[in-house]
Amino acid sequence: MKGLRIIIFVDLSDPNSQRHLRDPGVSGSLSTFFITSPKFTDTIFHFSQPAAASVVLGVNQDAYSEVNLDYIKTHDIRLARRGAGGGAVYVDPGNLTYAFIDNDDGTNYLNFKKYATPAIHVLHKLGVDAEMTGRNDLTVDGKKFSGMSSLKIGNRFSCGGTLMIDVDLDQAAEALTPPKTKLASKGIKSVHSRVTNIRQYFLPQYRQITFDEMRRLLLQEVFQTTDLTTIPTYTMSEEDWLQVEQIAQNKFTDPDFIMGTKRDDDFFHGNHFDGLGTVEISFSVDDGIVTHARIFGDFNQANGHLKVIEDKLIGTPFKKDNLEEAFRTTNLSANIGPISAAEMADLMLNPNFQEVN
């Protein structure tokens, strides 16, 4: 892959790695481990494939509005939350996930197209007219088959996405309940009408391609070689996995982190903003004063301090000028992304943005 330094492939196909990866909370801790471990300073590339069905939330999303909790409980679908931003995804063994961990050089963080390019090139060779649309989606025939997300800690970050090859689309449609504003922004009415598996788009000679063969093609593209034995490869040690498990126990397998607190506000407004994603705000107003506020969304700014914004709103008069002034002092660009104080105030004031609780 052009433009990157030394790349190391972390091979997670050995039985010991597969044993650890059965828990989506542990799988979701890998990025944090690769970003923060001092033993890794070069660019890393790795794959993962879920052992069972799960729904993975973005770090800033509201579990109670994004997921059909009764359905996933009844159908033994695990719920997890990643440290990265982006939206909720349904994954199962028909899904192949790939990820890069890299160093921020000032141009590559949140440059989703750069890290999607190897997958796009491989899919073109297989006959799929894949393209990147919006902020971080890969689509074919107007339907999404991959969503990408990113997490930054210090000067290192992860960037990766899912490839829907043989996913149970009916189950995905039942498990996910995205807000109406997000669906409306895509011009669709349901999850099912928006997503697709890509196997049906493969050329006839590739229609039966295996996941191992897909991995091989992606490795050849990323490392620009047909001889996989020349690829710098790292295998996780038991000590590595103990550190990953510790990260998972400290955060990613914690039910409070996964579920969050259920909303109990007077209002819940949401809107989709081009180039940013969906921003939602749950808030209460008493005698014309904001008494409580919480911000959610699928924006990719995973490191923002949303509580700074939420706390600033408390005690603010529920009027345009006052709300704008409050938002102006909370560094929206760093904490949410490219959105103005006026847009955030309108999000709260405009009744057209009311979501169904």
Of 114-128, 223-237, 296-310, 330-344, the least confident = 296-310
Widest pairwise Cα distance in the chain: 70
pTM of the full predicted structure? 0.86
Of 34, 55, 97, 83, the closest CA to residue 241 belongs to: 34
3-state secondary structure of 342: helix
Question: Distance between CA atoms of 247 and 82, rounded to whole angstroms?
Answer: 12
Q: Any residues with CB less than 8 A from the CB of 252 and at least 6 apart, and which? A: 25, 26, 28, 29, 32, 80, 81, 82, 83, 258
Reported as a single tens digit per residue, the pLDDT across 128-141 is: 999 999 888 999 99
The pair of structure tokens assigned to 137 is: 């989606």
Residues 301-310: tens digit of each pLDDT: 877 899 999 9
Determine how β-strand 78-81 pairs with β-strand 54-57. parallel
Shared fold status for 7-259 and 267-353: no
Summarize pLDDT for 157-206 with one digit per residue, the tens: 999 999 999 999 999 999 999 866 554 444 444 454 589 999 999 999 99
- Give the domain ranges of the chain: 7-259, 267-353
The domain made up of 7-259 has a fold known as BirA Bifunctional Protein; domain 2 (3.30.930)
Report, at the CATH architecture level, how domain 267-353 is classified.
Answer: 2-Layer Sandwich (3.30)
Q: What does the chain come to in residues?
A: 357
Whole-Å CA distances, 325 to 329, 331, 344? 7, 11, 11
pLDDT tens by residue, 225-266: 999 999 999 999 999 999 999 999 999 999 999 999 999 999
What is the band of 3 on the pLDDT scale with cuts at 50, 70, 90? very low
- Report pLDDT digits (tens) over 212-222: 999 999 999 99
Q: Helix axis angle, 306-313 relative to 320-328, nearest 10°?
A: 150
Question: What is the spatial distance between Cα 168 and Cα 145, in angstroms, rounded to a whole number?
Answer: 12
The answer to whether the CB of 85 falls within 8 A of the CB of 298 is: yes
